Structure 1
Amino acid sequence: MQESLLLFLYLLMQRRASPQWEMAGRGDDLQRTAWLRQYYTQRQKRLMTLLIARRRRSSCYFHPRAWPSFRHPDWWERVVLKDFQPRDWLEKFRMSKETFFYVCNQLRPKLSHQSAHPHPVLPLEKRVAVALWHLATNVEYQTISPLFGVGPTTVQNCVKEVSYAVVLLLKPLYLRLPSEQELENMVRIFSARWGFPHCIGALDSLHVPIHAPMHLGADYCNSQGWHSVLTQATVDGLGQFWDVCAGFPGSMENSALLESSRLWALAREGRLFPTPPKHFMGRTQKYVLLGDASYPLQDWILKPYSEDGTLTPQQLQFNYRLKRAHSVIENSFLRLKARWQYLLKCDSCSLDLLPTVIVACCILHNVCEAHDCPFNDEWLEVIEPAEFPKPCRPVPMSMDDSSAEEVRELMCKYFESYGEG
């Protein structure tokens, strides 16, 4: 046994001494050396990136000398402001360059504050750009961070700061209760575009997907089994929002949210419609909003008849006309989510901030629509209805206002008399 082992060792030494073995060994050593060099180079880059990220401040202040060597702090000034074409502005910020700077000027009273901090403040336009880029693309903070040469926490702070400024300064201009004259204009637009008379808006809800909150998972789990924050919105005949109530748990029913909203309070107090009510079909009648089966029937909220096979031709015609007109808010929600893809899945926003961000997105939607910013239909491709099916639970008939049935009958007579409008 020992002699065999010695013989084996001798033969092995002889083989290693041969020129072929020596060349093969050298090849392995070179390959191993190249692999190790590549590994340690990549490891050093990762460590340097982490070191720089830790040194960045968690605010809108920055250190001009702390950028990674492969990024330039003047990318915003050197590339975006000088080289971006109209299509680039629309794709990355969802608005034209002119509208972008209009928004910046409107937000200046809130965002142009000076600080005694020893480090320079990010320019106002750059902060707005960071926020809009994130709201439009919903990419992670870590992805936007090196692009603009700021830390991930700075991206988060920009989104928060800009959202609050949009709600504070742009909401009075673009998301407010219409005046009596504006209500009359809305009635004319709804009648002309959608063929539904005496109507000032369509009412519906939007569920924004979120991660299950700790200790509150049951409250935010909706009837379809996924977690969401519930928003109630009303749009005019052009698809622009004029009332938004955001931030409610996804388990809440539309009818309960309605009764908790400012819209309900204003209607109950008689401050939502002109006084006295306008005439319609020979009688005084409040303006109406259009809802779906998840809302209670009121003398100012109309919904379709339950299609149980017993409806008259007039009632079927009413359902068709209402559903066609109600589609204006369904289209608005689609455009809202496609333009501001942040609303497709809010993974990086606290429950305290999310209502403000949702309202800010609705306001920015109105800004884009009012300024005729083009809408790219390709943005709709990211929306997958099957991924988050909309919760829509019909309310029991006991919640309907029995006197409101007369209003639906009045509308049926109108459609029967005037036909297809």
Structure 2
Amino acid sequence: MERREKIRMAAVLLAKHNFLFKKKLHILLLKLLNNMKVINGLASMNLNLLCQAVIVTPPDIRERQLSKLERNGTFWERDVPLMDESRFKENFRVNRNTFRRICEKVKDIEKVDSNMKPCIPLHKRVAVSLFALGSAAEYRTVASLFGVGRSTVGEILLDFCQAVCENLSASINSYPPNPQEIRKIVDGFERLGFPQCFGAVDGCHIEIQPPKKSAVDYQNCKGWYSVILLASCDHRSKFTYINIGSPGKNNDSDVFENSALKRYHETADIFNQNSKRICGVNVPVFLIGDSAFGLSRYMMKPFPYSANQSYIEKNFNYELSRCRRPIEKAFEQLKARFRKIGRRLQVAPKNVNIIIRTCCILHNFLKLENDEVYTAWRQDAREDLNARSQPCHTTRVGENDVNASAIRNAIAESFREVDGDVSGSERGGDGGGSGTSKGDDVDGAGGDDERTDGVADASD
């Protein structure tokens, strides 16, 4: 009897505990449902706030989001294959054969597909880079055209520039020159009318957006911000030396005085070893420049202007001006082909030098490939140059150098012997030392199928 009573009591307790367990479980479920309602309410509230934030987003941020989403450009995939040779070159500033050659040279920038998404092909990367360099369009415009992100355009361009500087730098490697290279270039300038010349030197100011902390250093005498590209070229307008990055407040002479170009011509014996006897004076191989440079035995410049300037001096100035045309032509072609630097270079200051260097290297490489600049491009570039006139400077440094003056006088006398009785006015010479207008072509330049020589030296 007692056993039955115990079993009955145990069953009652079990039923009671089961009821309490179900009651607690029900309470927990009710709390869980209530919490879920609260979470859903908060999520709905956050979504509304997010929508309101998007609506009041500033215009520049909305524009960036829009350009990021609209990546359906089919310019490269659909339009470019249908282009003829002329339209292709107009867009990418090179012909198709040269484009393929460049792709071969910079294949290091090719990427491998990942598990997440396919990478941008090599040819499209080169196309994006050349289009960005050859046009004045913003990265946002290039991104929309090619169907990529705006930041991707900048990354691709910098990768391309790095590859060009590493793989095509041999296009500018003239220093130290060997006797055969010296003779080839000297003969080329002599055909243009000036003896013993190894290169025409000049500086070109390229407009930039300067660093805020040092903007005053980049303001040139014309009032705009720039970096200086100091370059020397041969008779074919191919660069033999480049120095990039000096702030615009400097002048060409300052940059040259601190350059490796001056140090080499000042100390190398090979230029004296290739001297030539002219009118009784031993004339070494030298450079030529305008009135911004100091006169020395390795740098010939015009005679200073005077009201009573003699015919001999006028004639010398005229001949020197004619033979300086290749460097002016080189700068003009550089800016005409690569509008990125022909107009304001709107990139981060740290990227300015490598972009300019890349354009200079490609300028030489494309000349080797006989890929010439369209006349229409040069006309457009001249209009841009007129809009931003180049700073000018004049110095009389070196005019008292006896040896340098003797060399200049001997060359001037040799011109008179060649010209006979031709007057300075008939030659077109004037006291200012300029006998041709800026931008004209030079006749008699050597063929562009020869090897380009040079050296690059940048002040970063």
TM > 0.5 fold call: yes
* C-alpha distance 106-313 of structure 1, shift in aligned 2 (>3 A): same
What does residue range 116-155 of structure 1 map to in structure 2 within 5 Å? 118-155=116-153
- How far apart are residue 119 of structure 1 and its match? 3.1
Determine the structure 2 residue equivalent to 1:6: none
1:100 corresponds to which residue? 99
SS in 2 for 1:352: helix
Residue by residue, what CA displacement relative to the aligned partner does 1:320-348 show, whole Å, maximum 9, x if unpaired? Answer: 10011112211211111111111123342
User: Residue type of the partner of 1:351?
Assistant: P
Larger radius of gyration: 2
User: Where in structure 2 are there 5+ consecutive unaligned residues?
Assistant: 1-56, 421-443, 445-460
SS at match of 1:306: coil
Q: Which of 39, 64, 71 matches 1:67?
A: 71
Q: Indicate the residue corresponding to 1:277 in structure 2.
A: 274
Picking from 336, 357, 360, the partner of 1:359 is: 357
Measure, in 1, the Cα distance between the counterparts of 2:343 and 2:337.
13
* Partner in structure 2 of residue 301 of structure 1: 299
Structure-2 change in CA distance of 1:175 and 1:125 (3 Å): farther
The alpha-carbon deviation at position 106 of structure 1 amounts to: 1.2
What is the CA deviation profile of residues 112-159 of structure 1, one whole-angstrom value per residue up to 9, with x for unaligned ones?
354767433211211111111011112111111111111111111122
TM-superposition CA deviations, 1:266-289 (whole Å, max 9, x none): 123316x44623323255432121
CA deviation profile, 1:279-336 (whole Å, cap 9, x unmatched): 2325543212110010111101110001112322111110110011112211211111
Deviations 1:348-399 (A, max 9, x none): 2122211111111111111222222232111122433332111111124368
Match for residue 250 of structure 1?
Answer: 248
CA distance in 2, matches of 1:117, 1:200: 55
The answer for the alignment partner of 1:204 in structure 2 is: 202
Three-state SS of the structure 1 residue aligned to 2:71 is coil
Query: What's 2:169 paired with?
Result: 171
1:292 to 280, 286, 290: 290
Name the CA distance, whole Å, in 1 between partners of 2:397 and 2:308.
16
Deviation at 1:175, TM superposition (A): 4.6
Q: Secondary structure of 1:385's match? A: helix
Aligned pairs for 1:14-413 (under 5 A) are 51=65, 53-54=67-68, 67-68=71-72, 71-72=73-74, 75-80=75-80, 82-108=81-107, 110-112=108-110, 114=112, 118-177=116-175, 178-192=177-191, 194-270=192-268, 273-274=270-271, 276-281=273-278, 284-379=282-377, 380-382=379-381, 383-397=383-397, 401-413=401-413
Note closer, same or farther for the CA distance 1:151–1:252 as it changes in structure 2 (3 Å cut): same
**Cα distance in 2 between the residues matched to 1:310 and 1:51:** 67
- C-alpha contact (below 8 Å) 1:189/1:237 kept by paired residues: yes
Amino acid across the alignment from 1:165? A
TM-score by length of 2: 0.72
Of structures 1 and 2, the one with the larger relative CO (CA 8 A, separation 6+) is 2
Deviation string, structure 1 residues 239-285 (Cα, Å, up to 9, x no partner): 111111011100012111012212112123316x4462332325543
Instruction: Look up the SS of the partner of 2:203 in the other structure.
Output: strand
Using the TM superposition, name which of 387-396 and 262-271 deviates more: 262-271
Decide whether the 8 Å contact of 1:296 with 1:400 is kept in 2. no
Indicate if the aligned counterparts of 1:191 and 1:199 stay in contact, CA closer than 8 A: yes
| Greater Cα shift, 289-298 or 341-350 | 341-350
Q: 1:52–1:67: 8 Å Cα contact kept in structure 2?
A: no
Indicate conservation of the 8 Å contact 1:201/1:290, yes or no. Answer: yes
Counterparts in 2 of 1:139 and 1:400: CA distance versus 1, 3 Å: farther
Paired residue total = 359
Match of 1:32 in 2: none
**Aligned-partner SS, 1:389:** coil
SS at match of 1:207: strand
Q: Which amino acid aligns with 1:98?
A: N
- CA positional deviation for 1:402: 3.8
Closer, same or farther: CA 67–220 of 1 in aligned 2, 3 Å: closer
Greater Cα shift, 280-289 or 290-299: 280-289
Percent identity of the aligned residues? 28
Deviation at 1:174, TM superposition (A): 4.1
Matched-pair contact (CA < 8 Å) for 2:303–2:313: yes
In 2: Cα distance, 1:202 partner to 1:287 partner:
12
Aligned partners of 1:93 and 1:132 also within 8 Å = yes
Tell me how far apart the structure 2 counterparts of residues 326 and 173 of structure 1 sit (CA, whole Å). Answer: 21
Q: 1:234 to 1:256 in 2, by over 3 A?
A: same
**CA, structure 1 residues 386+300, in 2 after alignment: closer, same or farther (shift >3 Å)?**
same
CA distance in 1, matches of 2:115, 2:349: 30
Q: Contact conserved, 1:277 with 1:284, CA < 8 A, in 2? A: no
Secondary structure of the structure 2 residue equivalent to 1:145: helix
Q: Secondary structure at the match of 2:387?
A: coil
Task: Measure, in 2, the Cα distance between the counterparts of 1:156 and 1:179.
Answer: 40
Opposite residue 67 of structure 1, the aligned amino acid is: R
